[in-house]
A and B are shown apart, each in its own frame.
Chain A
Amino acid sequence: MRIELDVNGEQLEADVWAGESLLYVLRERLGLPGSKNACEQGECGSCSVLLDGELVCACLVLAAQAEGHEVVTVEGLAGAEGLHPVQAAFARAGAVQCGFCTPGLVVTTAHLLERNPDPSEDEIREALSGNLCRCTGYAKIFDAVKLAAGT
């Protein structure tokens, strides 16, 4: 079936199978592999995207369900002026190692700071608890969130 999606402010069309997730369609059909697939079960947060401004796991949303809604992926965060402050903070704070968790965490953090511009460490932990990172032990990710909150 043919669906039309609003992704990062662009109208995109794709031929999909009915069972394809939003994550699969973004990655494999629309050339947007920034959102990562590390579990496909809603357990790791690597696929986090914004759907009408709400944080969702793209692996749990059918592509067809996203029709008529605004999707923002990690590729859509940077503006004409350059990196999104959260992206710049992750790079500076050393919050990136292998980087597989990074797109999901960047989207989750952007969403957090949108709602709560000055989160406490506990609030950061709570907000990020759905995003697994195997490399960093999270400390520098918390630093990055604080750095981004201050910018």
Chain B
Amino acid sequence: MSAPPARKLQLGRVGETVQRVDAIPKVTGEFAFSSDLFAAGMLWGHTVRSPHAHARIVSIDISQAVPMPGVQAVLTHEDVPGAKHYGLEFPDQPVLAIDRVRYFGEPVALVAAEHPEQARRAASRIAVEYEPLEPIVDAERALAQEELHPNRPTSGHGYREDPRPNVVRTMVVRHGDPDAEGDVSVSGVYELGIQDQAFLGPESGLAIPDGEGGIDIYVATQWLHVDRDQVAPCLDLEPERVRIHLAGVGGAFGGREDLSMQIHGAMLALRTNRPVKIVYNRQESFVGHIHRHPARIWAEHRADRDGKLKCVRMRILLDGGAYASSSTAVTSNAASFACGPYAVENALLESTCVYTNNPPCGAMRGFGAVQTCFAGEAQMDKLAAALGVDPVELRLRNALAPGDTLPTGQKLTGSLPVAEVIRRCAAIPVPEPDGLPRDAIRLPGGSGNVTRGEGVRRGVGFAVGFKNIGYSEGFDDYTAARVRLFTDRSGGLVAEVHCAAAEVGQGVSNVLVQVARTELDIVDDVLLAPHTTATVDSAGSASASRMTWMSSGAVRLACAAVREELDRRGGSLDPGEEIDIERIYRHPRTTPLDPETGQVTGERAHVAFACAAMRVVAEVDTELGLVRVAWIGTAQDVGKALNPQAVHGQIEGGTAQGVGLALMEEIQTEDGLITNASFTDYLIPTALDMPRVVAELVEDAEPDAPYGVKGVGEPPTVVSTAAVVAALRAATGRELARVPVRPEHLAGL
């Protein structure tokens, strides 16, 4: 007889392309998204929202709604059982508005009814009397207007003291001599509109009372345990009595970090003692979650004659909208990454986020680095032009490398192959232009373009971006994983992995399984338990490109412990016997940035970094102002690709979101009211808008990370907006200092 194979599970280990564990149920339609859930006796919840951006609530009269057909509950702020306010980081947001509304769409009242249409009709009978107040809608003027939050929820948390009204956070990074002069100087003022995550699966979930005063909430979210910790105090329940279970998530991109229906659904369910389902429609989704911060950025770059950066000065103003969400961290990120992946001896970087009555902003893929990359890379191109140096060469001359110091004083000790990604990207051959005439589908604007392409000009742009991986500034960032080893009926050894890591589409479920298959070569099968708060400690958030790193670290630790215990027991388990071990993984500790100087107070404020370079070929019809992105090539620093197909998928999808911000995506507001809350008016890239992305993976292992892995979700989104607009500038010669670029900015050359 031949020797048994060394490994029982030959396939599906770390580093291999493995089909998604949820692929089959997703292609057959069986996979249950949060909006697909059903429970016997279920009611439908509906949220009444403010039609004003800023108003005082004079009265709320529910008497007409209560007797409507099918209605089982109508609730207002008076019915919130516990804390009346919540928030991802600062509890500044009312569960239901109390005496004031601060943004368009703010929740004011709730209805539960037998049919969703009955709930909507009853909601329209709730009479809320508002006294409209002047909305604060300009971020600059907000710094001198009446305080929207007089109690200053974010002050006293170790941030820089900024006495101006409506400041969420100000961060100043002073590095070297901020007045250092160079031989050349370029400057510009840049602006970004509000981008929406526009995930396809709307906010939704099902809350089921457990009959003993507690609640189970099945919801699409990014961080189960932090949801629980926000929900429980508002329901006046101990955290264990609130169990959050991950329902199928239809995309997230930061937009599900904050709560949506969780507390509301639970309140209705506990009041009626029946399961309650809430599903937002598309319009409600646009007002029902936070967005990417719009920004205004003033930048000046000084360099010597050889193109070495001497000094970068940047002032960044972010509009955080009505509530804090994760704005304080976005503020800091914008400053931390303002100089781009370049070595700069001297810098003055000032980032301020303000409260306004505009739509609340928080996390979106790229998290502060998107905004400053757009400005910084435009500046690098201006500098290259002023010096007469090739833009790629200028970037290479300034590329950060391990051993260099960041503007925050943090020394780069890990991996950051900036020069390598630039070279690898620049080496990808750019295709020849498509000739003319050609099929209209290949013209800017597609079949809507009735010309023969005579007004088409081609431009090639290049950009580089970087950002942090993982939570920063002293946050206690950890992930728990539990592995249960047992024998199944046929005597096979099975490992069951428990981890609350939110599968939002990025493929973390595969990571969990692949790591267990890699680490436990003795098992016959690996199973994945449901993602829930009920059986395992926190996994932290599926954000900051951290989840692959953190969850693989945790599963690996738990597997090692299980393995050790199995060895101690002699290497096998009897039927009925099991090993069940939970382990917590932490990445290297970070410390806060000094509030006065923005300098590190320990070894590092950020754990690690990842970078990407991108080249874009775009064609502009200068008569019509229409654009075709013809080609995209990129090289990305990924550490180690655990599942190469999934990594490419992240790069392609992340790039598309940056293309959207460059060309079409903007939440438009009038006096704080959103005017385009639909896919008819808020456009995202379609199959006609996105070229294929030629992507090179640069694998340079991160020394502190399991398997050398880095996060891959955000760098493509950080860099692609900048790269697309660089190509448009090359095609048109225009400055294009604002995104999204509109046709009128391109037409009429």
Contact = CB atoms under 8 A, between A and B. Distances in A.
A23 to B, nearest CB: 12
Contacts of A135: 251, 505, 649, 653
A138 B441 CA distance: 16
Given A33-B36, A97-B506, A122-B439, A134 B28 contact: no
B675 interface: no
Contacts of B688: 125-126, 129
A96 B28 contact: no
Given A75-B28, A140-B652, A91 B20 contact: yes
Contacts of A92: 19
Given A75-B29, A92-B19, A97 B198 contact: no
B33 A139 contact: no
A37 to B, nearest CB: 7
A122 B441 contact: yes
Given A41-B678, A125-B441, A137-B652, A94 B36 contact: no
A34 interface: yes
A118 B526 CA distance: 39
Contacts, number: 185
B504 A43 contact: no
A117 to B, nearest CB: 19
Interface stretch (B174-182, B199-207, B528-536, B603-611): B199-207
B19 A98 contact: no
B589 interface: no
Interface of B: 17, 19-20, 22-24, 26-33, 35-36, 38, 115, 117, 197-202, 248-253, 279, 281-282, 439, 441-442, 447, 504-507, 645-646, 648-649, 652-657, 678-680, 684-688, 690, 692-693
A91 B27 contact: yes
Given A94-B646, A137-B693, A100 B281 contact: no
B24 to A, nearest CB: 6
Nearest to B199: A134
Interface string A85-103: 0011011101011111111
A63 interface: no
A91 B24 contact: yes
Contacts of A39: 282, 678-679
A79 B22 CA distance: 20
Closest 3 CB pairs of A and B: A34-B29, A98-B505, A99-B26
B250 A94 contact: no
A128 B687 contact: yes
A94 B252 CA distance: 18
A36 B684 contact: no
Contacts of B36: 27, 33
A35 B281 contact: no
A19 interface: yes
A132 B686 contact: yes
A98 B249 contact: yes
B201 A98 contact: yes
A134 B687 contact: no
30 contacts: A17-B115, A19-B117, A34-B30, A36-B33, A40-B282, A41-B678, A44-B200, A73-B29, A77-B28, A91-B24, A96-B20, A97-B506, A98-B504, A99-B248, A99-B250, A100-B505, A101-B200, A124-B687, A128-B687, A129-B688, A132-B679, A133-B200, A133-B687, A134-B251, A134-B656, A134-B684, A136-B652, A137-B654, A139-B648, A139-B690
Contacts of A27: 36
A46 B505 CA distance: 16
Nearest to B25: A99
Nearest to A130: B686
Interface in A55-111: 73-75, 77-78, 83, 87-88, 90-92, 94, 96-103, 106
B28 A46 contact: no
Contacts of A31: 38
A83 B652 contact: no
Contacts of B281: 40
Contacts of A129: 686-688
A141 interface: yes
A38 interface: yes
A136 B653 contact: yes
A97 B649 contact: yes
A98 B686 contact: no
B687 A141 contact: yes
Contact of B29 (A35, A41, A91, A134): A35
A83 B202 CA distance: 27
Contact of A138 (B27, B28, B197, B690): B690
A100 B30 contact: no
Contacts of B38: 31, 33
Contact of A100 (B197, B251, B690): B251
A78 B652 contact: no
B293 to A, nearest CB: 19
Instruction: Tell which of A78, A88, A135 has the most Cβ of chain B within 10 Å.
Output: A135
